[in-house]
Amino acid sequence: MSKGPIGVFDSGYGGLTVLKEITEMLPAYDYIYLGDNARAPYGGRSFDTVYQYTLQCVEWFFKMGCPLVIIACNTASAKALRTIQQKDLPLMDPDKRVLGVIRPTTEIIGNYTKTNQVGILGTQGTVQSNSYPTEIAKFFPNVTVLQQACPMWVPLIENNEYLSAGADYFIQKNIQQLLDQSSDIDTILLACTHYPLLLDKLRQYVPAGTTLLSQGHIVAKSLKEYLEKHQPLEEKCTKNGRVSFYTTDSTDDFDQQGAVFYGKPIISTHLEL
């Protein structure tokens, strides 16, 4: 197998919050980011649609030579990853790897809670898949998981309305719906890679002392450990410190909006899938 960059995928801009942390922790590698903005958000789409879209994007990453793809999207990790890993990957290229964001998070989340009550905020797709309660139970059987879908949050972010007063209405409403399920939640996971942009607003609506967890750092640390443990794969990842960006929608929008998520200027290329 030839060498290539690490692929990082999201339905839109959200995965850039993960890529930002990954490139800070592992700057030597080359990366390709793909945002499927033309078809975002994925959150309300059916299992099969999310699977088809994600598979198509993974195939593209493989064509670009990526030995490893990170699905930096909870919705796609919840709805498509397992099928891709178990059914498609062995046929496409068994030496390549596709990893998600749910496993690295569920492995450590129990370490943050003292009350053993954890809240999950995610898209409808992520919450309906029940992936978080199922996976957390494997690592932390004593932790109770309360979930709340926030269907308006990604559209507000993708449409650059997340700082508007209108956004507060939906943010407060969904936080309250989560907190109404238990007064003992002390740790809340932002189980959608778009949500870190809402951190300042979220802090206003959660009780003081609540831990709000974003996934970027967790996923970056987990990737670092994974590469250390899997030397043959690590050696197939090129290391020139280059990052390139692709979007299935307008590059002008992506460059402008994406920079807010990534924290640095972006110049993207359009991809027709």
Q: Which of 37, 105, 113, 126 binds ligand DGL (CB under 6 A)?
A: 126
Q: How far is the CB of 203 from ligand DGL (least distance, A)?
A: 20
57 part of the active site: no
Contact 28, 241 (CB under 8 A): yes
> Is 104 one of the binding residues for ligand DGL (CB under 6 A)?
no
Q: Which of 58, 136, 154, 237 binds ligand DGL (CB under 6 A)?
A: 154
Counting Cβ atoms within 10 Å, is residue 156 exposed (0-12), middle (13-18) or buried (19+)? buried
Q: Which of 7, 14, 35, 216 binds ligand DGL (CB under 6 A)?
A: 14
Nearer to ligand DGL, 45 or 236 (CB): 45
Q: Which of 73, 80, 198, 219 binds ligand DGL (CB under 6 A)?
A: 73
Task: Enumerate residues 6+ apart whose C-beta is below 8 A from 241.
Answer: 27, 28, 29, 30
- 53-88 in b/e form (b: 16+ CB < 10 A) is bbbebbebbbebbbbbbbbbbbbbbbbbbeebeeeb
Strand partners, 124: none
192 part of the active site: yes
> Can you tell me the distance from the alpha carbon of 188 to that of 228, in angstroms, rounded to the nearest whole number?
29
| Tokens 């030496």 belong to residue | 95
> Is 57 one of the binding residues for ligand DGL (CB under 6 A)?
no
- Give the binding range for ligand DGL (CB under 6 A) out of 35-43, 62-70, 82-90, 129-137: 35-43
Q: How far is the CB of 78 from ligand DGL (least distance, A)?
A: 8
> Can you tell me the distance from the alpha carbon of 128 to that of 123, in angstroms, rounded to the nearest whole number?
8
> Is 75 one of the binding residues for ligand DGL (CB under 6 A)?
yes
Q: Which of 20, 79, 96, 194 binds ligand DGL (CB under 6 A)?
A: 194
Nearer to ligand DGL, 128 or 210 (CB): 128
Nearer to ligand DGL, 17 or 268 (CB): 17
- Give the binding range for ligand DGL (CB under 6 A) out of 40-48, 133-141, 170-178, 239-247: 40-48
Q: Is the peptide bond before 41 cis (omega within 30 degrees of 0)?
A: yes
From 189, 206, 228, 232, select the one nearest 101 (Cα to Cα): 189
> Is 144 one of the binding residues for ligand DGL (CB under 6 A)?
no
- Give the binding range for ligand DGL (CB under 6 A) out of 71-79, 113-121, 196-204, 219-227: 71-79
Run of H or E including 125 = helix 124-129
Q: What angle do CA 75, 178, 210 make, to 5 degrees?
A: 100
> Is 22 one of the binding residues for ligand DGL (CB under 6 A)?
no
Residue numbers annotated as active site: 73, 192
Residues that bind ligand DGL (CB under 6 A): 10-12, 14, 40-43, 73-75, 123, 126, 154, 192-194
